[in-house]
Amino acid sequence: MTANTGSVVATEALSKDYLAGVVTVHALRGVSLAVNRGEMVAIMGPSGSGKTTLLNMLGCVDLPTQGRYWLDGEDVSRLSDGALSRIRNEKIGFVFQTFNLLPRLTAAENVRLPLLYSHRRRPREAASQALERVGLADRLQHRPSQLSGGQQQRVAIARALVMEPAVVLADEPTGNLDSRSGEEIMLLFQELNREGVSILVVTHDLQVARHASRVVRMRDGRVVADEGMADGVDARDVLAAMPPPEPDEAAEEGA
């Protein structure tokens, strides 16, 4: 297998073994996967299926024991720590369940953080543009404690987008949100995907996965199914069918 120019992510027989005492744990067992540019793919599986390990491989947080991984056409399987740090900063946008915002920094300052560690030049207004892109143009100077959970996740998404990465990796992005806020985040992901952003969402929740165009199912470190999402949903329709938010919730979003 060689890198496919149409794939933003491609792996070949990716394996990861861990030593737990005297026992070898096979966390990934020969995973071959390709994600095309502009796709939105959900990775699903029960606890222990290997989806988190795969996310760490795709995010260049960890290296495989065997196999190869191409990101944006570059073989990153055996890069040095310094090269991997550059890849994580410039080519991968991370979105976490717990937002991972620094509490003392404003929204704009949180979004600006990746720019401070990059050698690639970005315009000075990149952070404010990213926040505008996620609907928070009027929240630049708000700190996380002044924002709702949904707004904090939007800041995290803006931070993930500010370097214009090759792919966004989202790990249980709605796990800390109520149903409406979670659906609004999935709407944002769908809108970004329609703009051409490549997105991988790791989730245990089928309802979240149904927002993707394709689902990869894992079990025991292997891909056991990779198929189009036959019963996918449009977040706009889901939100339209939801009851309106309570007045205090609406006020919190607009605070």
The angle subtended at Cα 141 by Cα 179 and Cα 167, nearest 5°, is 55
Contact 59, 22 (CB under 8 A): no
In the structure, what pLDDT confidence band is assigned to residue 4 with cuts at 50, 70 and 90? low
156 φ, ψ (degrees, to nearest 5): -60, -40
Give residue 21's pLDDT.
Answer: 84
Contact 109, 165 (CB under 8 A): no
Q: Which residue has the higher pLDDT, 249 or 246?
A: 246
* Domains along the sequence of the chain with CATH: 37-61+79-253 (3.40.50.300)
The span from the CA of 20 to the CA of 135, in Å, is 45
The span from the CA of 208 to the CA of 158, in Å, is 20
Q: Dihedral angle at the C-alpha atoms of 169, 56, 209, 68, nearest 10 degrees?
A: 90
- Amino acid residing at 187: L
In the structure, what pLDDT confidence band is assigned to residue 103 with cuts at 50, 70 and 90? very high
CA distances in angstroms from 19 to 23, 52, 54, 58, 77, listed in the order given:
6, 17, 17, 21, 20
Q: How much is the average pLDDT of 160-187?
A: 96
Percent of the chain with pLDDT over 70: 95
Give residue 1's pLDDT.
Answer: 47
User: In Å, how far from its chain's centre is CA 161?
Assistant: 10
Q: How much is the average pLDDT of 176-202?
A: 97
* Residue 188 φ/ψ region, left for φ over 0, alpha for ψ in the -120 to 50 degree band, beta for the rest: alpha
Question: Both ends of the chain: CA-CA distance in Å?
Answer: 52
Looking at every residue in the chain, the average pLDDT score rounds to: 92
Q: Tokens in use for 55?
A: 């996310």
Q: How much is the average pLDDT of 183-207?
A: 96
- pTM for the structure as a whole: 0.92
Contact 88, 163 (CB under 8 A): no
Contact 88, 199 (CB under 8 A): no
Q: Which residue has the higher pLDDT, 132 or 122?
A: 132
Percent of the chain with pLDDT over 90: 82
CA distances in angstroms from 173 to 47, 66, 74, 151, listed in the order given:
17, 29, 27, 12
Contact 43, 54 (CB under 8 A): yes
In sequence order, the β-bridge partners of residue 225 are: 217
> For the segment 33-70, what is each residue's pLDDT rounded down to a tens digit?
999 999 999 999 998 899 999 999 999 999 999 999 99
User: 227 in helix, strand or coil?
Assistant: strand
Q: How much is the average pLDDT of 145-153?
A: 97
Give residue 254's pLDDT.
Answer: 56
The span from the CA of 226 to the CA of 228, in Å, is 7
The span from the CA of 213 to the CA of 124, in Å, is 34
Interacting residues of 62 by C-beta distance below 8 A, sequence separation 6+: 16, 53, 56
